[in-house]
Amino acid sequence: MATTVALTGASGFIGGTIAHDLRNAGYSVQALVRSPEQEKKLKEAGIQPILGELEKPQSLLEFVKNCQFVIHCAGTIRGSNRAAFQPTNVDGVSHLIQACLAQPSPPSFVLLSSLAAREPALSPYAWSKHEGEKTLFREAGSMKWVIFRPPAVYGPHDKALLPLFKLIDNGIGLQLGPSDARFSLIHVKDLSEAILRWLVKGSPAATIFEVDDGVPGGYSWEKVFKTINPHIRLHLHCPPGLLRAAGLTNEILARLFRYAPMLTTGKVNELLHPNWVCDSSPVRQALDWKPQIPLAKGLRHLFTSDNLME
């Protein structure tokens, strides 16, 4: 009988990749869904949809029933205050934990967090990821758990970094942070593989793993530009003041027109932070895992018809 994994966020960029890889590895996957449209799409992909919502704890009991693992991949990434992120990124963790603990044999719990959790004062999003981790520490009890903290994640179907990468590919390097900033990256397939490795090994538990593509010291903006396009025609450095003004303006417009903004003053704080470099040596050693997709290879697949999802 196949091992069953309950997965939130299966309709999203990272969650969709994890769901695909779980199915290919022989796991039975049940995914939390809100809408009939999501339900139909997941069924076609061989995934069992379970209707429910993270904000409704009672609906989660059926979702985690008879599963051996829970992967909480769903996350809110848009919003201008803590209240926008709390329901999914903090309360959702608690509700899932309580549903797991209500089972005769509680499943092991994987929380997909973010490197932003290292700096909770920077933004409401970073705060919410940090609080989600604290919730797991506080409420998990004897349940086995692990936290993965990726940096910026890219790959097929990504909507966040792809526009920036395409701009660079067309010869325009748009720099959205300080020149001395260093940051790590990881391809979504490598992140997924690291999580699946933990499912196989089941240890170590009660651990936070940072995961990246293995480049020591991460990347500079210049290194990313040259990797994507060695013949950049125009290098634009967006001034911090302009970024902050754009973030504040977007927050005001979001309140007026009632939408969830991506570019906010909090997000600008994240962009201007000088150090988003991972140390993935502990996860490589503990899980016998090694990233397989360097940036140049991952980008080639983004800009061609090849698809690493296959």
Residue 176 lies in a domain: no
Q: What is the sign of the dihedral through the CA atoms of 159, 165, 169 and 173?
A: positive
Total structural domains in the chain?
A: 1
Report pLDDT for 305.
Answer: 44
pTM above 0.85, yes or no: yes
CATH code, domain carrying 281? 3.40.50.720
Report pLDDT for 291.
Answer: 97
Report pLDDT for 302.
Answer: 81
The vertex-108 CA angle with 102 and 114, nearest 5°, equals: 110
Contact of 121 with 270, CB cutoff 8 Å: no
Residue 70 lies in a domain: yes
Count CA atoms within 13 Å of residue 13 on its CB side: 17
Residue 167 lies in a domain: no
Residue 76 lies in a domain: yes
Residue 242 lies in a domain: no
What does each of the 310 residues of the chain score in pLDDT, given as a tens digit? 689 999 999 999 999 999 999 999 999 999 999 888 888 889 988 999 999 999 999 999 999 999 999 999 999 999 999 999 999 999 999 999 999 999 999 999 999 999 999 999 999 999 999 999 999 999 999 999 999 999 999 998 888 898 999 999 999 999 999 999 999 999 999 999 999 999 999 889 999 999 999 999 999 999 999 999 999 999 999 999 999 999 999 999 999 999 999 999 999 999 999 999 999 999 999 999 999 999 999 988 887 644 444 4
**Cβ partners under 8 Å of residue 147, min gap 6:** 110, 111, 113, 133, 136, 207, 208, 209
Residue 235 lies in a domain: no
Residue 305 CA to residue 310 CA, distance in Å, equals 12
Tokens representing 252 are 């005001």
E strand or H helix at 28: strand 28-33
Place of tokens 């044999």: 105
Contact of 186 with 150, CB cutoff 8 Å: yes
Residue 298 lies in a domain: no
Domain range enclosing 61: 4-157+184-213+275-291
Residue 132 CA to residue 208 CA, distance in Å, equals 13
**Cβ partners under 8 Å of residue 71, min gap 6:** 5, 6, 7, 8, 18, 110, 112, 195
Residue 49 CA to residue 302 CA, distance in Å, equals 29
Cβ density class 178-210: b for 16+ within 10 Å, e for less: eeebbbbbbbbbbbbbbbbbbbeeeeeeeebbb
Residue 285 CA to residue 27 CA, distance in Å, equals 24
Residue 265 lies in a domain: no
E strand or H helix at 299: helix 295-302
Residue 76 CA to residue 88 CA, distance in Å, equals 6
